[in-house]
Structure 1
Amino acid sequence: MLSKEALKRKYNRGDYTVGGHTIPKFAKAGAPEAREPRFPGATALPTGFADSFAGIAGIDEIITDQQAVTEGVRDWWADTMIAETDHRGQYPETLIVRVSTVAAVQAVMAACNAANVPVTTSAARSNVTGSALPTAGGVVLDVLSLQGVLDFDADSQIITVEPGIFGDVFEQWLQDRGFTAGNWPSSFGISTVGGWVACRGAGQLSTRYGKIEDMVVGLDVVLSDGTLVTTGGSPRAAVGPDLNQVFVGSEGTLGVITSISLRVHRLPDYTKAQAFGFPSFAAGLEACREILQRGANPAVLRLYDELESGVQFDHGETNVLLIADEGNPVMVDAVMTVVAEVCQDAVELDQDAILERWLDTRYLTGKSAEGFKTGAGFVADTLEMVAPWSVLPQVYERVVKAINSVPGTNAGSAHQSHAYVDGACLYFSLRGTVEVDARQGWYDQVWQTVNSVLIEENATISHHHGCGLLRAPYVANSLGTGFRVLKDLKQSLDPKSILNPGKLGL
């Protein structure tokens, strides 16, 4: 039920259609002269630069009209929506180059490197941090047409795909052959495998299957000068550091990923679920910790605070914990035995109704706004972070308090969405209603306030959305002395700093 049937569940993809999939759409940018450009800067393109791509095989389209560019780079970041509806959606001079071969990717990179032209790699643009926005102008390298399945080793359970393949297409291909990737992000139908890897994403069943970095076996990557390199490819190795992990989560700042080999799993045919109510969020977190540290790892282990329990499940009187697992019956039954022991003092809830509600709504976009009155001055966003169990309860309390302290905030809330033996991800929702002209100020202030708390608590500022532009100001503080290593990697692999400038704080 959590795999085969979930493909049939409803989700909202948006309005633009590309290759049978839809891409974000909202209000037009309006008159460019109404406000200052969002990312002012000098023209990045040499005169006639687009002509240098003429006749190159695998370059399918070049888009130069700036309004078409604005629409062609639009993402799901709340800040993008604020900016465009506030008539600040313009970028420095930019062109979109759509490619369908690896050789074309190499040719574009070589030309841009020679001319010192910035390159921002883009695909489905479901990102919510601005990681694929061309803030420095230049070339947006659209790899969405790289959608092929290149190889499948069923004996080893390894599949190799191109980065532009959409999540639902990828999963359906596997399920038709009796396998699953086990990666089910909320953006399942509007995101690509390459995007998952570039932003170090996570699916909703990560406690069972792991995050995307746990699935990657090997990569092909085009470097800034057009060189193609291959990393990984082995089940395990002791030949220096794991070079796959240099590029997983690099958000296009170190290279352009052109193929990905991933571990997959046999399609499960057995599932079980349980649901409980806890008197406090802290008590629910303690139960999650105990379940995992006793050795159980259910596919779904999600805890909702009272506000979200009310909105999502009509149980606002408690903190709902949903547990579900799939796989080998012996293992699933053992996991659920541990769950029942840990939660024996909690209030049992109708697990079928709660699971059904979760399955029906888990792909819906804009869930953070659910239950609140929307309007022109309403802003909603989500923030996911991760920390050890020992500090999670106080992080929850402090972050919700920080959100609510910003004038104009409606309410902050959270759920625990991904959990591990040593800690978990808390997924916060932030909502505010202010004057239309005050939206940007409220948004910036609430993010700054919350990240100040996270850095003070030594929490990690992102679990699976990545950093992009949204978290760029906080990356150096979050990584501490390790930030120098990231900067040195950038200098070595991209000495002209043309790859996705401004992201990851680089």
Structure 2
Amino acid sequence: MSAPGNQIVCSDVAIDGRMTQEISSAIPKKRQDVLKWYGWGYRDSQFYVDGQTICFQGDRYPLKGSALPYFTDWVYQKFNLKVDPSIPFPELPVDFPKPVINDDFLNEIKSSGISFSDQGEDRLIRCHGQTLHDIYNLWRNAFERIPDLVVWPKCHDDVVTIINLADKNNVVVIPYGGGTSVSGSITCPQKETRMICVLDTSQMNRMLWLSRENLTVCFESGIVGQDLERELNKINLTVGHEPDSYEFSTLGGWVATRASGMKKNVYGNIEDLVVKVKMVTPKGVLERECSAPRVSCGPDFNHLVMGSEGTLGVVTEVVLKVRPLPPVKRYGSLVFPDFEYGVVFMREVAKRRCQPASVRLMDNEQFIFGQSLKPVKGWLGSAIDYLKKSYITNFKGLDLTKICAVTLLFEGESEDVQRQESLIYKIAKKYKGFPAGGQNGERGYILTFVIAYIRDFALNQDIVAESFETSVSWDRCSSVCRNVKRRVKDECSRYNIKHFLISCRVTQTYDAGCCIYFYFAFKYTGILNPVETYEAIENSARDEILSSGGSLSHHHGVGKIRNKWYKQTVSEVGCNLYEAAKRELDPKNIFAAGNLRPGIEEENNFIPLLKAKL
């Protein structure tokens, strides 16, 4: 995107005396050198079993190589499962599905000078996202269809070249950023007969320009969240967008899925942060010319791009709002007698619009789970924990089987943070809540990044686990939580599942409602098709959410795993409007991931279906 006046262009010039250069990414071109090929996260970080105790390997997170006997006991009590140290994680396959080759396209890619790979390993690790379904199939080498080619554009113009060649030669393109999708959106369509080319944006990670006066910045779409923040923090700025996948997800992925971050109360969701985007489609480049803070020029096409989930084009450049790095960052936590008290506290905070950067309410199940992840302490630490527990149960008279917790993060100027803390704790007291310390708040906040690692460990120990989310109006928050838990419990009984977990947390608050995050897991020993069973139960939970007034998704997106509810959610007119945009921008269905609209992955050409509906 062109740089407006008085803007610092980041190409062989200095920003605050520091010469710009290629950004060193946390994720290299060969992802498998740093990240696991078979699941979530870094290769050097994972849960494992030592003897009969669950431990955590790696020093990137607060657990830092800890033995976790409390967590081991919790797993046994909740799932009647003794962990087995002898079960290995899967080995990388040596045989891969044979690629479908479009010779004309491949030859033209070679002539273009754009980097590419047809190696099986590079293709396999980009054939999927991070759904339970994907990982289960990956472990069993069950994918019939994986990408036939991986390409690494280095700039917007490279993307234009790739899309033009794909459209010319009728090749499917799937945009790929951090690979963190939990909606099936980047999973290769298994029935696709055309050549599939994955467009990996990881080499498009530059800061193109920065305007200090306007507090705006332009990044290429492939930059990873942690890299983006690191570069801005060096010049005392921040975007403040911090989803759970922040370590690995990319800016382009945030835009394409309408992402939300844990600190949205201060900085906003992605739609609040985006000034404008540039997207390459088979019909050309879609971009609004003006970078003004707000325009009234008909429908906002930024919002056509946001949430399009790679079905209309490839996001290449994004202009974002930035803020000065806050001088004060402080954590806190609260304990409430039960979940209902916690919900009315959250409602009051939202009503008064005094939310800190992050405020998240955990139910009792998640509170106990979080406590179990604490490593063993010395005698002094254990004594302190005993006194704290005694204070809660004896002095406060709370029931440990009902209490819930809230984690807090405050950011801003010192006096603003102090004022906000005072008000939050005053509101908490009104609803029988009391402070539980900054250390617990920080630990609870950061442990969010570790939870995803548990899914892979659990799968290796006969437990399937996954999360799903929704947004709902305040008057239905508690009832949705109750109804979904009851529905899951009934479904588990129907499938004769005796050992399971269903818990929830309220993670985002708004004037009119909130986001609810559910975690569901069960022991699958003796169940023939555990993932199919899991999906059947989750689908029932989703039906319950929708019938109770919840949304199809708050921030995960639709993808393939929720597309059967898309029409119900946006109406037939809404579906027709989306199809009209699809027909205009991508008439050959080059972007054929199959997201949003059910059945699209069976279509090699989009035009016949659209003509039939006109």
2:31 pairs, out of 10, 15, 18, with 18
1:431 pairs, out of 500, 504, 521, with 521
CA 225–23 in structure 1, closer or farther in 2 if over 3 Å, else same: farther
Counterparts of 1:243-258 in structure 2, within 5 Å, are 243-258=301-316
1:364 pairs, out of 426, 450, 468, with 450
Does the 8 A contact of 1:368 with 1:381 survive in 2? no
Query: C-alpha distance in 2, partners of 1:46/1:127?
Result: 28
1:489 aligns with 2:489: no
CA 16–80 in structure 1, closer or farther in 2 if over 3 Å, else same: farther
Identify the residue that residue 54 of structure 1 maps to in structure 2.
110
Identify the residue that residue 327 of structure 1 maps to in structure 2.
412
Q: Cα deviation per residue 1:421-447 (whole Å; 9 max; x = unaligned)?
A: 111111111102214641222122122
1:234, CA displacement in angstroms?
1.7
Does the 8 A contact of 2:328 with 2:413 survive in 1? yes
Identify the residue that residue 486 of structure 2 maps to in structure 1.
401
Amino acid in structure 2 at the alignment position of 1:289: R
1:150 pairs, out of 198, 208, 215, with 208
1:443 pairs, out of 523, 530, 534, with 534
Amino acid in structure 2 at the alignment position of 1:254: L
Identify the residue that residue 413 of structure 1 maps to in structure 2.
503
Does the 8 A contact of 2:149 with 2:198 survive in 1? yes
1:79 aligns with 2:133: yes
CA 189–21 in structure 1, closer or farther in 2 if over 3 Å, else same: farther
Identify the residue that residue 552 of structure 2 maps to in structure 1.
461
Amino acid in structure 2 at the alignment position of 1:89: F
Does the 8 A contact of 1:100 with 1:145 survive in 2? yes
Query: C-alpha distance in 2, partners of 1:280/1:358?
Result: 18
Q: CA RMSD in A?
A: 2.8
Query: C-alpha distance in 2, partners of 1:420/1:43?
Result: 47
CA 501–444 in structure 1, closer or farther in 2 if over 3 Å, else same: same
1:193 aligns with 2:260: no
1:333, CA displacement in angstroms?
3.1
SS in 2 for 1:73: coil
1:502 pairs, out of 583, 588, 594, with 594
1:501, CA displacement in angstroms?
3.0
Does the 8 A contact of 2:225 with 2:248 survive in 1? yes
SS in 2 for 1:303: strand
Identify the residue that residue 125 of structure 1 maps to in structure 2.
179
Query: C-alpha distance in 1, partners of 2:541/2:95?
Result: 32
Q: Cα deviation per residue 1:56-80 (whole Å; 9 max; x = unaligned)?
A: 14x112x234454112334322111
CA 47–56 in structure 1, closer or farther in 2 if over 3 Å, else same: closer
SS in 2 for 1:261: strand
Q: Could you tell me the TM-score, scaled by structure 2's length?
A: 0.73
Q: Cα deviation per residue 1:66-99 (whole Å; 9 max; x = unaligned)?
A: 4541123343221111112233123166222221
Q: 396-405 or 249-258, which moves further after superposition?
A: 396-405
Amino acid in structure 1 at the alignment position of 2:473: P
Amino acid in structure 1 at the alignment position of 2:565: Y
Does the 8 A contact of 1:31 with 1:87 survive in 2? no
CA 267–230 in structure 1, closer or farther in 2 if over 3 Å, else same: same
Q: Cα deviation per residue 1:321-358 (whole Å; 9 max; x = unaligned)?
A: 22331112343333333322321142314222311312
Query: C-alpha distance in 2, partners of 1:269/1:23?
Result: 36
Does the 8 A contact of 2:257 with 2:556 survive in 1? yes
Query: C-alpha distance in 2, partners of 1:88/1:369?
Result: 19
CA 18–300 in structure 1, closer or farther in 2 if over 3 Å, else same: same
SS in 1 for 2:111: coil
CA 233–29 in structure 1, closer or farther in 2 if over 3 Å, else same: same
1:148, CA displacement in angstroms?
0.5
Does the 8 A contact of 2:229 with 2:238 survive in 1? yes
Identify the residue that residue 9 of structure 1 maps to in structure 2.
none
Query: C-alpha distance in 1, partners of 2:270/2:99?
Result: 37
Identify the residue that residue 8 of structure 1 maps to in structure 2.
none
Counterparts of 1:175-324 in structure 2, within 5 Å, are 175-227=233-285, 229-230=287-288, 233-313=291-371, 317-324=402-409
Does the 8 A contact of 1:24 with 1:74 survive in 2? no
SS in 2 for 1:440: helix
CA 350–162 in structure 1, closer or farther in 2 if over 3 Å, else same: same
Amino acid in structure 2 at the alignment position of 1:121: P
Amino acid in structure 1 at the alignment position of 2:578: L
CA 51–436 in structure 1, closer or farther in 2 if over 3 Å, else same: farther
Question: Which segments of structure 1 move beyond 6 Å, counting only runs of 4 or more?
Answer: 13-16
Query: C-alpha distance in 2, partners of 1:160/1:286?
Result: 40
Query: C-alpha distance in 2, partners of 1:369/1:307?
Result: 17
Does the 8 A contact of 2:425 with 2:435 survive in 1? no
Identity %: 23
SS in 1 for 2:440: helix
Identify the residue that residue 85 of structure 2 maps to in structure 1.
none
Query: C-alpha distance in 2, partners of 1:64/1:398?
Result: 48
Q: Cα deviation per residue 1:187-220 (whole Å; 9 max; x = unaligned)?
A: 1221111111111112111122111111000111
CA 161–325 in structure 1, closer or farther in 2 if over 3 Å, else same: same
1:48, CA displacement in angstroms?
4.6
CA 437–84 in structure 1, closer or farther in 2 if over 3 Å, else same: farther
Q: Could you tell me the TM-score, scaled by structure 1's length?
A: 0.88
CA 32–24 in structure 1, closer or farther in 2 if over 3 Å, else same: closer
1:227, CA displacement in angstroms?
3.7
Aligned residue pairs, count:
484
2:165 pairs, out of 85, 96, 111, with 111
Amino acid in structure 2 at the alignment position of 1:364: V
CA 350–48 in structure 1, closer or farther in 2 if over 3 Å, else same: same
Query: C-alpha distance in 1, partners of 2:315/2:249?
Result: 15
Q: Cα deviation per residue 1:101-125 (whole Å; 9 max; x = unaligned)?
A: 2222111111111222211111221
Q: Cα deviation per residue 1:289-317 (whole Å; 9 max; x = unaligned)?
A: 11111121211110000000111146754
Query: C-alpha distance in 1, partners of 2:434/2:279?
Result: 49
Identify the residue that residue 102 of structure 1 maps to in structure 2.
156
Query: C-alpha distance in 2, partners of 1:162/1:94?
Result: 25
CA 411–108 in structure 1, closer or farther in 2 if over 3 Å, else same: same
SS in 2 for 1:503: coil
Identify the residue that residue 169 of structure 1 maps to in structure 2.
227
Which 5+ residue runs of structure 1 have no aligned equivalent? Answer: 1-12
Which 5+ residue runs of structure 2 have no aligned equivalent? Answer: 1-25, 40-89, 373-399, 601-614
Q: Cα deviation per residue 1:454-485 (whole Å; 9 max; x = unaligned)?
A: 22123112111222122122222222242332
CA 501–324 in structure 1, closer or farther in 2 if over 3 Å, else same: closer
SS in 2 for 1:414: strand
1:336 aligns with 2:421: yes
Does the 8 A contact of 1:205 with 1:299 survive in 2? yes
Amino acid in structure 2 at the alignment position of 1:497: N
Amino acid in structure 2 at the alignment position of 1:379: V
SS in 2 for 1:213: helix
